């Protein structure tokens, strides 16, 4: 019987270990805490929630809620523990973090197929040499020595230590009449959407940007971020024209409505192949989410912008998944098919997303052991579309992403109303997952259970 090593008993690693163990696979689960702590964990428990105790919405019309429905259907143990530890929080699934992580620790530690080892894995060399199956789920604060080893294997350019993510907005509510498609220096290429600003609009924008409310970084984050790159609002503070010579430079652009170069221009770059989402080029920011809505909706054409993810800048270790991982989250593309990644280190962001990638990394490993076809979730599902985004080589300038409807395969019939559109995505996702589960009994899915979901 082949044994699987899971490194990191956080949210993703705990789910992965359980899924394998329940399918009769021997698992060695290695966790460095309490021997070595991260700057944010403070216990020796598995699946410790490091910040908020909310796992977000249980309304299945939202992407977060529909993802939970998928994970309950797939028999996730971590989500089940969250349900048992639930505290009242309206339409959110919030948990008593102590009850939650104690329950998962006890459940995994007493499983006959799981051997828990406490200690830091400092290098991947032994695992690569032995060719043993491994799921690496060491999270956003992977220890320094292991991170160095990962860099050695994947290349320095393929492991980042911080997010410097610009906001991503939905294509749907953009006012196309106020935007023009053009690449810089070329009127033939139309890779970018551009929002032209005249002098007055630019000045108003800068005035609001420099006074807008910012997020206060934690001490351990400030140093790395300072070295990484400067947020948009910091650059604006250096001089009112600084952004006109930086992210908002109009050079090489001609607005077809005036036949002139605009005073300043914001560029939007497609975020996915389907062009359902765009990012604001160069808009790395530390503004609060409310301030981002207020200030960035001042940009012409973005008045009704719908934020699929807000800009963030914080400490985060993640690999360049689209260029490295195959659709079952393994490093097969670079000749290491026995090593998989799961959780935040893949660039999928958020607690529930970590559960999802942990679960799918386990299914991929199980299929590999049993010689089954690779399990690839349909793109119509929430989890399938997130993993597709994270492993699609066409995803450029990869920045962490949480689940959202903007990265999903477009509907066959476009729906204008946002509510109706989300409902359609959600219902399509449910059907697609049901079909997938029916088609793949060989994957031995764990029993589904119900969550107190607000159903569509
Ligand atoms: C400061 C901060 C705040 C956050 N707040 C939120 C939030 O409010 N909501 C949200 O959804 N997400 C939040 N996140 C993201 C959050 O970390 C992820 O959603 C989630 O914890 C990722 O799960 P994971 O399993 O990938 O990593 P983790 O849960 O962090 O698990 C990784 C595990 O690996 C262990 N480990 C690390 N290195 C080694 C090693 N070398 N050897 C052995 N074990 C190792 C760690 O001790 C840890 O137990 C936050 C992240 C940070 C850094």
137 lines ligand 1 (CB under 6 A): yes
Q: How far apart are CA 150 and CA 152, in angstroms?
A: 5
Within 10 Å of residue 182's Cβ, how many Cβ atoms? 22
What is the Å distance from ligand 1's center to 50 Cα? Answer: 7
Q: What share of the chain is helix, strand, coil (3-state, %, to 5)?
A: 40, 20, 40
pLDDT at 88: 87
**Whole-model pTM above 0.85?**
yes
What is the Å distance from ligand 1's center to 38 Cα? Answer: 9
Q: At what angle do helices 418-439 and 63-73 cross, to 10 degrees?
A: 10
- Rounded to an integer, the average pLDDT of 278-290 is 94
At 149-164, the pLDDT tens digits run: 999 999 999 999 888 8
Going along the chain from its start, the domains and CATH numbers come out as 3-163+315-443 (3.50.50.60), 168-309 (2.40.30.260)
pLDDT higher than threshold 60 for residue 224: no
SS3 state of residue 209 = helix
At 87-122, the pLDDT tens digits run: 988 899 999 999 999 999 999 999 999 999 999 999
pLDDT higher than threshold 60 for residue 136: yes
SS3 state of residue 365 = helix
Q: How long, in residues, is the chain?
A: 456
Q: How far apart are CA 340 and CA 290, in angstroms?
A: 37
Q: How far apart are CA 135 and CA 358, in angstroms?
A: 8
351 lines ligand 1 (CB under 6 A): yes
What is the Å distance from ligand 1's center to 181 Cα? Answer: 39
Select from 138, 147, 329, 356 the residue to mutate for testing ligand 1; criterion: most ligand atoms less than 8 Å from CB: 138
At 15-71, the pLDDT tens digits run: 999 999 999 999 999 999 999 999 889 899 999 998 889 999 999 999 999 999 999
Q: How far apart are CA 196 and CA 186, in angstroms?
A: 16
**Tokens 């220096």 belong to residue:** 185
At 239-260, the pLDDT tens digits run: 999 999 999 999 999 999 999 9
Residue of higher predicted confidence among 306 and 221: 306
**Half-sphere exposure of 181 toward its Cβ, with a 13 Å CA cutoff?**
10
Cβ-based neighbours of 92, under 8 Å, separated by 6 or more: 54, 55, 56, 57, 58
Q: How far apart are CA 206 and CA 183, in angstroms?
A: 24
pLDDT higher than threshold 80 for residue 323: yes
408 lines ligand 1 (CB under 6 A): no
- Rounded to an integer, the average pLDDT of 123-139 is 97
């Amino acid at each position: 019987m082949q044994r699987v090593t899971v490194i990191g008993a956080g949210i993703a690693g705990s789910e992965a270990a359980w899924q394998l163990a329940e399918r009769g696979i021997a698992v060695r689960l290695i966790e460095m805490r309490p021997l070595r702590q991260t700057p944010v964990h403070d216990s020796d428990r598995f699946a410790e929630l490091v910040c908020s105790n909310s796992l977000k919405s249980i309304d299945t019309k939202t992407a977060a809620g529909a993802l939970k429905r998928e994970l309950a259907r797939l028999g996730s143990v971590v989500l089940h523990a969250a349900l048992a530890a639930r505290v009242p929080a309206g339409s959110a699934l919030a948990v008593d973090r102590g009850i939650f992580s104690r329950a998962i620790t006890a459940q995994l530690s007493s499983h006959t197929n799981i051997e828990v080892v406490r200690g830091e894995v400092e290098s991947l060399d032994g695992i690569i040499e032995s060719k043993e199956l491994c799921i690496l789920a060491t999270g956003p604060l992977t220890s320094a020595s292991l991170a160095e080893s990962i860099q050695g294997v994947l290349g320095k350019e393929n492991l980042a230590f911080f997010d410097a993510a610009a906001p991503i907005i939905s294509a749907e509510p953009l006012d196309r009449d106020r935007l023009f498609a053009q690449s810089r220096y070329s009127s033939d290429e139309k890779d970018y959407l551009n929002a032209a600003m005249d002098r007055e609009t630019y000045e108003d924008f800068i005035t609001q940007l420099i006074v807008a409310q910012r997020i206060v970084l934690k001490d351990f984050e400030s140093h790395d971020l300072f070295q990484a790159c400067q947020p948009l609002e910091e650059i604006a503070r250096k001089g009112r024209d600084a952004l006109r010579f930086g992210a908002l430079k109009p050079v090489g652009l001609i607005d077809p409505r005036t036949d002139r170069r605009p005073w300043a221009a914001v560029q939007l770059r497609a975020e996915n192949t389907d062009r359902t989402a765009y990012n604001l080029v160069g808009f790395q920011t530390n503004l609060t989410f409310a301030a981002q809505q207020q200030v960035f909706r001042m940009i012409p054409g973005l008045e009704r912008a719908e934020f699929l993810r807000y800009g963030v800048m914080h400490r985060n270790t993640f690999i360049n998944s689209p260029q490295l991982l195959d659709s079952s989250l393994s490093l097969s593309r670079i000749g290491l098919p026995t090593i998989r990644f799961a959780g935040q280190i893949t660039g999928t962001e958020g607690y529930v997303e970590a559960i999802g990638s942990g679960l799918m990394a386990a299914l991929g490993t199980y299929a590999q052991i049993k010689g089954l076809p690779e399990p690839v979730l349909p793109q119509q599902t929430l989890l399938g579309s997130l993993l597709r985004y994270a492993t699609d080589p066409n995803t450029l300038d990869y920045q962490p992403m949480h689940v959202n409807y903007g990265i999903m395969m477009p509907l066959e019939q476009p729906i204008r109303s946002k509510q109706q559109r989300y409902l359609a995505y959600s219902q399509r996702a449910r059907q697609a997952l049901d079909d997938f589960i029916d088609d793949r009994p060989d994957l031995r899915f764990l029993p589904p259970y119900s969550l107190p979901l607000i159903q569509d």
